[in-house]
Structure 1
Amino acid sequence: MTTLSRRDAALAGITAAVVAVGAAEPVAVLTGPRSAPLIAVGGLVVDVVPEPLKQFAISVFGTYDKIALLVGTGVLLAAFAALLGMLAVRRLWIGLAGIAAFAALGVAAALTRAGANGFDALPSLIGAALGAGVLWALLAGPLRPDIWAWSPPTPAGSPTPAGPAEPAGPAEPAGPAEPVGRPGPVAPARRAAPAGEVDPDGRRRFLAGVGWLTGSAAVVGLGGHWLAGQRGVSSARSAVTLPAPASPAPAVPPGADLRLTQLAPYTTPNRAFYRIDTALVVPQVDPETWRLRIHGRVRNPIELSFADLLARPMVERYVTLACVSNEVGGDLIGNALWLGVPIKELLDEAQPEQDADQVVGRSVDGWTCGTPTAVLSDGRDALLAVSMNGEPLPVEHGFPVRMVVPGLYGYVSACKWVTELELTRFADFDAYWVPRGWSAQGPIKTQSRIDTPGRRNRVAAGPVPVAGVAWAQHRGIRKVEVRVDEGPWQEATLAPAVSDDTWVQWSWRWNATPGEHSLQVRATDADGETQTARSAPVAPDGATGWHTVRVRVD
């Protein structure tokens, strides 16, 4: 085995890893994107990572937490591969064993995902086999740098090193003499390389192989990823014709949107609506094959197709959704116009048993949320939504069907890509987040936020508009108050809202004086309960406290 520098050995290991991951991508086009090693292992990380670390990632990266996870997983894989390459220089079996261990992890992660089958192991197995072959080729096979180095050509007139005498043979006829002082061609000679020295030509061959393999793997991997995207459901989504609502939404009243700089619009555009879920790859659900089962503790189980759902009378409503991971003053909240079928009507047809106090929404990827049956049956506009802001649900927001429930945090109600509603009991089943330390039931808390002026803004002295949003879904907001530097509370002006199920914008005019100032806001809901000043983290059932911003007035 040749002696390589630690840098070249690490490069060999990383190249093998890139080939393994890149080769797995086109295989995953056939077996499903969730079976790709990085995605499968990333999904496993999402499930097992300690909850404080998960919340830290959401607080730092927000809706980019999945990208951060995949990048982090790739960095860790590269570091692991580099270490394997350095260990495999003298003991190739260590590197091969490391690749086998990663393959086993990928296979285990893929096979334990919801709906997995034996074919989901293929991307990890095929990628690992090719990665092992590349590692062998770079460290022990045809691409390894030669342990022999070229000696420089021997100059004319230099003595040739003595070697064993050749047996005497018949004399050759004399030929024309070479001109004096004119050297003839001299064949390069080889000599054993000093310890640690590598043939420059061999190393060039090694680096060329690394570049070719890495580039090819990147092209193949990106091509596979692109092809998987072409197999998505965007065309099927575009072909959906939405029915007219039997019960249209009330019109947005004039003045509901104050249209101030930095203030969130009353209706959140789809592209700006927050997305927090556990799916590293957005599920691609064909509406032609989609089915919804309502089963469990019911007297009349129901199964519906997408066409069946669209044929039912539709209700259109504005509803504000909020994530339980939203920090005080955070932006994991949005308001949209939803179109769907009331869940209460479906439950009435299914006839839940008397003790079925929980409805478990189950996503196509196996994620679950547990919603109180009483909430879904109390007359609020809880929907199986098929449309968001006038168009079919975006794929990343649950196409073709998702749940929308006013007044509950999303982790207990907003099941995307929903395929099952199972009637059960809270005593019998814990949904996805409950074993991870979150409350079984998550009513949304009264909250308010200052949008303008923003944190660390500099404003001119004089009249300054202070504005933001407040929410207490399914209860409504009665009052919003603002104070400066912990002075007396001043009541803000509330803009009109469509209903109690949406947030409301508020504004207050502040006569700002030069210096550093602190602004705080609090809201009171329609039940007369004012949000608490006590600061609490998002776990286990939502953050509390008053949103505070510091502003510099010039």
Structure 2
Amino acid sequence: MGVPTGTGLSTGTGTRVARHPHWWAAAAGVLSAVAGVLSGELLAGLASPSLSPVAAVGSAVVDFAPPAAKEWAIQTFGTGDKTFLVSAIGVVLVALGAASGVLELRRPGTGVGLAALIGVAGIAAVASRSLVSPLALACAVVAAIVAVAMVRWLIGRLRAGLSVIEPEPGLSRRGFVRSMAGSAIVVALGAVFTAVVRGTTLAASAAREALRLPAPSSSAPSIPPNADLGVPGVTALVTPNSSFYRIDTALVVPSVDPDGWRLQVTGMVEQPVALSWQDLLAKPLIERYVTIACVSNEVGGDLIGNARWLGWPVRELLAQARPKSGADMVLSRSVDGFTAGTPLETLMDPGVDAILAIGMNGEPLPPEHGFPVRMIVPGLYGFVSATKWVTELKLTTFAAEQAYWSTRGWSDHGPIKTSSRIDVPRDGARVGVGTVTLAGVAWAQHRGVSAVEVRVDEGVWQPATLGTGISRDTWYQWSAKVQLTSGRHQVSVRATDGTGALQVQQAAPPPPNGATGYHTITIEAGA
């Protein structure tokens, strides 16, 4: 069935509708799609804060995307990868919404079918998540119903306005435009209300705001006086919570009520253990500075940070469970279904301060960094250790089970590699001729850094001044003065860890177990 044509009797806005019906149909489809999404997000903000239709679709995309695509997103957008994903989903949604409107105008029922298919995809995405609940599914169903009903209603009014010679009241082309305008106003108001509700829900919970962290039974060591070299522009020894990097698979930050939180220790254990929030707060907590890093960090990248963490040693919890002989991995699971496989030997090592962290730099964990509880394990990349919103520790074997990233081509074990970075000056900077100060950070978690060297234009390696480390589990500041002549220069840096092993020179990308190579920048010296 084709598009009905108007009689040409209407004027003004009605004539514009008659001349461009497909554009109006596309706009109606987009408006319907947006209305459906907003209704789902609004209901989710009230009934299912940790899982909305958009979050579910985004998480499903993350799960099924090829590893190369994920790595490209992280390397290209860094901590903005989630913003990129949400934007991409929005573009696709707008395109599909426009298509549903045009199809419905051309052939009634087809556009409604497309809108329904999109809704079913959203429902399926919600159903596939570990956080799925009847309320979460209901939010997705309502979103689908709203989108389908609205595209049918608006395109129905558009068809009626185009086809009648003597339009009935409310069915004229002007009536359709009024319907569009009214719907747009309602959607805009809904968007504002949804933003307020979602923002309020995902903010730190009342329990987090009221929490006063217990005093540690073992405090973090004081920062040595020579740890900070005082070079302007060099990375701070302690990363503020507000600027700490965030890389995880959660599109929407899970909202976890600490009073209802439980950590289960299961699998190959003699005695399964269940730990409550109050149980954890009553434990003798320790406080340690630990630098953690993402395995996706490129040479010279900033997906790394150092913080003062407060928590209970994981080995003490595992000791209560009494691991069975043969177990060699602890599969930690997040509330959103993410898993990480950590060597049991590392977690049980009395010399490794692996903790169930509840505090970060003197305050409760920020929601985006795992509130109420996350894992921190010195010396291992986050993809095999730093599970946020952790709810289960399953003792098993590397042969029997694989964690989230291991099934996607990354290695099972992820020891952090010795690395160093130039912070001052920045790549491409213009500096003066003569003595120039270079500075940056170096790290080799749980081994420490014993030396840092710099080189100009493939010349000899020169020793840098190395700041005193807070501990072998944190990064170190370094600085060096070099002599530069006028012109362009390449400057490189390398580190030696506490065992005497030199940083790997050969360049390699992050997959499958971390990037290697010397960080090298180009600077211009001149008057």
Bin of the TM-score, shorter chain as denominator length: over 0.9
Count of residues in Structure 1 that have an aligned counterpart in Structure 2: 506
Give the 5 Å matches for 1:71-86.
Answer: 71-86=87-102
User: 1:42 maps to what in 2?
Assistant: 58
Instruction: Give the Cα separation in 2 of the matches to 1:148 and 1:351.
Output: 79
* 3-state SS of 1:145 partner: helix
Amino acid at match of 1:391: E
Compute the TM-score of the two structures, normalised by the length of structure 1: 0.88
The alignment status of 1:56 with 2:66, answered yes or no, reads no
2:40 to 24, 29, 32: 24
Distance, in Å, in 2 between the alignment partners of 1:341 and 1:539 is 31
Paired residue for 1:286? 257
Cα distance change of structure 1 residues 35 and 290 upon mapping to structure 2, 3 Å threshold:
closer
The answer to whether the 8 A contact 1:403-1:418 is kept is yes
Give the SS at the match of 2:428. coil
1:104 aligns with 2:76: no
| Letter matched to residue 398 of structure 1 | G
Q: What is the match of residue 215 of structure 1?
A: 185
1:83 Cα deviation after fit: 1.8
Cα deviation 1:50-109 (Å, max 9, x = unaligned): 111111111111111111101110011101111222222121211111011111101110
Counterpart contact for 1:455–1:551, Cα < 8 Å: yes
8 A contact 1:369–1:413 mirrored in 2: yes
Percent identity, please.
49
Aligned to 1:390: 362
How far residue 203 of structure 1 moved from its aligned partner, in angstroms, is 4.2
In structure 1, C-alpha distance between the alignment counterparts of 2:75 and 2:505, rounded to whole Å: 21
Is 1:365 aligned to 2:367, yes or no? no
Equivalents in 1 of 2:262, 2:404: separation in Å? Answer: 22
Instruction: Check whether the contact 2:4–2:159 (CA below 8 A) recurs between aligned residues.
Output: no
Task: State the match for 1:448 in structure 2.
Answer: 420
Instruction: Write the distance in 1 (CA, Å) between the matches of 2:264 and 2:223.
Output: 35
**Distance of 1:143 and 1:271 partners within structure 2:** 52
- The answer to whether residue 406 in structure 2 is matched with residue 406 in structure 1 is no
- Spell out the pairing of 1:129-140 with structure 2 (5 A cutoff): 129-140=145-156
2:234 to 263, 277, 280: 263
Q: Does structure 2 conserve the Cα–Cα contact (< 8 Å) formed by 1:322 and 1:334? A: yes
- 218-227 vs 474-483, which deviates more? 218-227
Match of 1:469 in 2: 441
Q: Which runs of 5+ in 1 are unaligned?
A: 150-189, 192-200
Aligned to 1:161: none
AA paired with 2:54?
L
Counterpart residue number, 2:15: none
Q: Distance in 1 between matches of 2:113 and 2:159?
A: 21
Aligned to 2:496: 524
| C-alpha contact (below 8 Å) 2:421/2:440 kept by paired residues | yes
Cα distance in 2, alignment partners of residues 143 and 215 from structure 1: 22
Q: CA deviation at 1:382?
A: 0.5
Distance 1:485 1:400, change over 3 A: same
Counterpart of 1:181?
none
For 1:142 and 1:540, locate their aligned partners in 2 and report how far apart those are by CA, in whole Å: 55
Q: 1:493, 1:226 → 2: CA distance?
A: 50
Matches within 5 A, 1:421-440: 421-440=393-412
Deviations 1:371-429 (A, max 9, x none): 00000111211111110001111111011111000000000000111111111111111
Quote the offset at 1:262 in angstroms: 2.4
Counterpart of 2:222 in structure 1 is 251
CA drift at 1:221: 3.7
Q: State yes or no: 1:322 paired with 2:293.
A: yes
Q: Are the aligned partners of 1:25 and 1:221 in contact in 2 as well (CA < 8 Å)?
A: no
Distance (Å, rounded) in 2 between the aligned partners of 1:481 and 1:203: 75
Q: Distance in 2 between matches of 1:316 and 1:2?
A: 73
Aligned amino acid, residue 395 of structure 2: L
- What SS is found at the alignment partner of 2:109? helix
| Cα pair 2:51 2:252 within 8 Å, conserved | no
| Alignment match of 1:514 (pick from 476, 486, 490) | 486
Residues 359 and 424, structure 1, Cα contact 8 Å, conserved in 2: yes
Report the CA distance between 1:448 and its aligned residue. 0.5
Contact 1:35 1:123 in 2 (8 A): no
What's the CA shift string for 1:300-338, capped at 9, x where partnerless?
Answer: 111111111111111111000000000000000000001
Which residue does 1:479 correspond to in 2? 451
The 3-state SS of whatever aligns with 2:259 is coil
Look up the SS of the partner of 2:404 in the other structure. coil
Residue of structure 1 aligned with 2:157, choices 137, 141, 147:
141
What is the Cα deviation at residue 370 of structure 1? 0.6
Offset of residue 463 of structure 1: 1.6
TM-score (norm 2): 0.92
Q: Closer, same or farther in 2 for the Cα pair 1:235/1:420, shift >3 Å?
A: same
In structure 1, C-alpha distance between the alignment counterparts of 2:431 and 2:292, rounded to whole Å: 32
Q: Which residue of 1 aligns with 2:9?
A: none
In structure 2, C-alpha distance between the alignment counterparts of 1:534 and 1:415, rounded to whole Å: 30
Q: Describe the SS at the equivalent of 1:354.
A: coil
Distance 1:115-1:139 versus aligned 2 partners, 3 A rule: closer
Q: Does 1:70 align with 2:41?
A: no
- The equivalent of 1:9 in structure 2 is 25
Q: Secondary structure at the match of 1:141?
A: helix
Q: Distance in 2 between matches of 1:18 and 1:209?
A: 15
Q: 1:552 to 1:97 in 2, by over 3 A?
A: same
**Structure 2 contact 157–176 (Cα < 8 Å) conserved:** no
Report the more deviating stretch, 488-497 or 86-95: 86-95
The corresponding residue for 1:178 is none
Gaps of 5+ in 2: 6-19
SS of structure 2 residue aligned to 1:444: coil
Larger radius of gyration: 1
Q: Indicate the residue corresponding to 2:135 in structure 1.
A: 119
Cα distance in 2, alignment partners of residues 519 and 543 from structure 1: 19
Matches within 5 A, 1:158-237: 202-232=172-202, 233-237=204-208
Contact 2:120 2:144 in 1 (8 A): no
**What is the distance in 2 between the residues matched to 1:381 and 1:220?**
48
Matches of 1:453 and 1:142, distance apart in 2: 61
The CA deviation at 1:433 is: 0.5
How far 1:469 moved relative to its partner? Answer: 0.5
Residues 148/540 of structure 1: CA separation in 2 closer, same or farther (3 Å cut): same
- Residue 89 of structure 1 aligns to a residue whose secondary structure is helix
Q: Contact 1:444–1:472 at 8 Å: present in 2 too?
A: yes
Cα 1:145/1:463, change in 2 over 3 Å: farther
